[in-house]
A and B are shown apart, each in its own frame.
Chain A
Amino acid sequence: MSQAEVKKVRYRMGKLERKNTLVAYSFLAPNFIGFAVFTLVPVICAIALSLFEWNGGDISKLKFVGLDNYATIFATKKVAEKGIEYFFNRADLGIALKNTVYYTVVTVPLTIICALALALLLNKIRGAVFFRTVFFFPYVSSMVAICVCWSFMLMKDGPVNQLIMALGIDFNKGWTADSTMAIWSIILVSVWRNMGYYMVLYLAALQGIPRELMEAATVDGASRWQQFLHVTLPQLKPTTFFVSVMMVISCFKIYDVVAIMTDGGPGRSTKMLVTYIYDEAFVKVRYGQASAISMVLLVIVLAVTIIQFSSEKKFSND
């Protein structure tokens, strides 16, 4: 090939490549423009906004304050004075964190146990489709309707307390109006609503266990219980890991149930991270502080995600 020819081919290839790239971009554009404007830009702005003080008025009132917002939410001055207990017992962020962690630590294992039990019961049984639909149903029903229904049922004279009294236990408090029981009513509704969803994931995992493994265990004389302990459970490990990570993240984002059932109360007993963000942002209109709390949420969720990615290999089946 002569120099000129090589140049010509190169020119054509460059043109083709450019054309291909253009075509690809035209495929991406409709989604990407929306995505960039309404997701990517706000994500970047959120970090910046946490360094400013602003009450949402005129943009000229935007004032750079450095890390002051963080100092306020972590109550650094008072903590330096009175020790770390102040943060967890008095500061809004400390209480919100404590409640959210408490809620997460109880809800995740409870949901996993219920979901796994449902999946095991439903595995290889006639009529499984019917029961699967029943258990899944709460997950698709609208939040407001079911939360309101549950908070009525948990009222002082409601059916739940009538049942408890019938069992001979003296208990007649409204669940959502009592500062120790309020968080438990939220846990109850969360577990009740989500167990069907995670059951589906467990069912899929159970059906994926190779039949030969079960047969081999039977041939080796394993009892049903041994089979469950030494074959089924280890095979479900990756699913359990995946499910718990997903659940931890969604627990940290809890808002709907709390907002509808208790609105963070009574007192601050069910104040969660996101209800705190909501209050600061849309009730008290302190945008800078709200963004600083958002960053705390972001850091926690990202940390959990990173742990998931880095230990995925350890938990996956070979």
Chain B
Amino acid sequence: METAVHGREIRKDNPTLRKVLRVIIWVLLIALAVFTLIPFVWMISSSLKLDREVFAFPMRWIPETFHWENYSLIWQRVPLLTYFKNTAFIAIVVTVLQTLTSSFAAYAFAKLNFRGRDVLFLCYIGTIAVPWQAYMLPQFIMMRSMGLYDTLWAMVVLQAFSAFGVFLMRQFYRSIPTELCEAARLDGLSEYGIWARIMLPLSKAAIATLVIFTFVNTWNDYMGPMIYLTRDVNKTVQVGLRRFIQENSSDYHLIMAASLCSLLPVSIVFLCLQRYFIEGIATSGLKG
């Protein structure tokens, strides 16, 4: 009992300690936030300078004069608009296909009984564990023989049927009571009707998570487009930006301006939907 009282006394009698602790926490947090954000600040600052100012000593965070023309220059120097269009096309088609087909398949895995269900599901789970880099080469050879090399469709089929989506949706569907489906079946609804009218509306949160995950991953994908897309008209933002960097490696200011533009779309999507994104990770605990 004595220790208990003692413990409480420590907590109550040290308001200064609490205050000090609070201050320390805030100082640490702000320092870490600065560390996290400083590359972005540097990127903005450099994108508004002249190339020779970027590495001037001592460095200035705020440029002497703001060279906004850098931002109009990059659109002439790099076919950024083409890259944006290609990436948006891939990201949107993959997201739609992935969400539709995987929620469809997940319904069968979660709510229907049929022969071979467990074996099939094991196949799906098994391939999640296999790193893509281990089978990217046979996949590449196959795609090339199908005539998909250097086409945007290669990127679409590469990512549209991932096992991860099926797994995520199945986990969510299993949390929906089976009685709901049975009641609907008795009312004469077909399985397709149950999927469309009951499962889909109930799984909005899971779909939102999957959509954002897929969108961000396809937008930021680097290795896939790097292997498959060679012609400039087909490049995505990531590999296009990379090509621009390799060819103009000392135009630091322009590279930073172009990099900043490549960050924008996905940042906007993230900032608008970050709640779904972060909560989705916290509940599923899985990486896309």
Q: Interface on A for B, CB 8 Å cutoff?
A: 20-21, 23-25, 27-28, 30-32, 34-35, 37-43, 45-46, 49, 56, 118, 121-122, 125, 131-138, 140-146, 148-150, 152-153, 155, 157-159, 162, 192, 196-197, 200-201, 203-204, 218-223, 242, 246, 249-250, 252-253, 255-256, 259-260, 274, 277-278, 281-282, 287, 290-291, 294-295, 297-298, 301-302, 305
Are A149 and B256 in contact (CB-based, < 8 A)?
yes
Nearest-CB residue, chain B, relative to A197: B281
A49 to B141, CA, bound (A): 11
Chain A nearest Cβ from B257, distance in angstroms: 11
Q: A159 vs B134: C-alpha distance in the bound complex, in angstroms?
A: 38
Residue of B nearest to A205 (CB): B282
* Whole-angstrom CA separation of A111 from B59 in the bound complex: 30
Given contacts A136-B274, A144-B262, contact A27 B105 (CB under 8 A): yes
* Given A155-B55, A162-B57, A291-B138, A137 contacting B260 (CB threshold 8 A): no
Stretch in B71-79, B116-124, B176-184, B201-209 with 4+ CB within 8 Å of A: B116-124
Interface residues of A, dominant DSSP: helix
Could you list 12 examples of A-B contacts with CB < 8 Å? A24-B114, A43-B127, A134-B33, A144-B238, A162-B57, A196-B36, A219-B4, A223-B7, A277-B137, A287-B141, A294-B135, A298-B131
Contact B161 A34 (CB under 8 A): yes
Residues in chain B near residue A162, CB distance under 8 A: 57-59
Q: Is the CB of A24 within 8 A of B278?
A: no
- B242 lies within 8 A of A144 (CB): yes
Select B278's contact among A25, A200, A221, beta carbons within 8 Å: A200
- On chain A, the residues within 8 Å of B141 by CB distance are 45, 56, 287
Are A39 and B270 in touch, CB under 8 angstroms? no
Q: A140-B270, A274-B133, A294-B133 are in contact. Are A145 and B259 (CB under 8 A)?
A: yes
Is B220 interfacial (CB-CB < 8 Å)? yes
Contact A298 B130 (CB under 8 A): yes
Find chain B residues with CB under 8 A from A142 CB: 219-220, 237-238, 241, 259, 262-263, 266
Q: State the majority secondary structure of interface residues on B.
A: helix
Residues B241 and A140 in contact, CB atoms below 8 Å apart: no
Partner of A45, one of B6, B130, B138: B138
Q: A231 vs B158: C-alpha distance in the bound complex, in angstroms? A: 45
B89 at the interface (CB under 8 A from A): no
- Complex CA gap A37/B191 in Å reads 26
- Chain B, Cβ-Cβ closest to A130: B33
Nearest B-chain residue to A219, judged by Cβ: B4
Are A24 and B117 in contact, CB atoms less than 8 angstroms apart? yes
Question: For B271, what are the chain A residues with a Cβ–Cβ distance below 8 Å?
Answer: 133
Contact B133 A40 (CB under 8 A): no
Minimum Cβ distance to chain A for residue B13 (Å):
13
Report whether A27 and B104 are in contact in the complex, using a CB–CB cutoff of 8 Å. yes
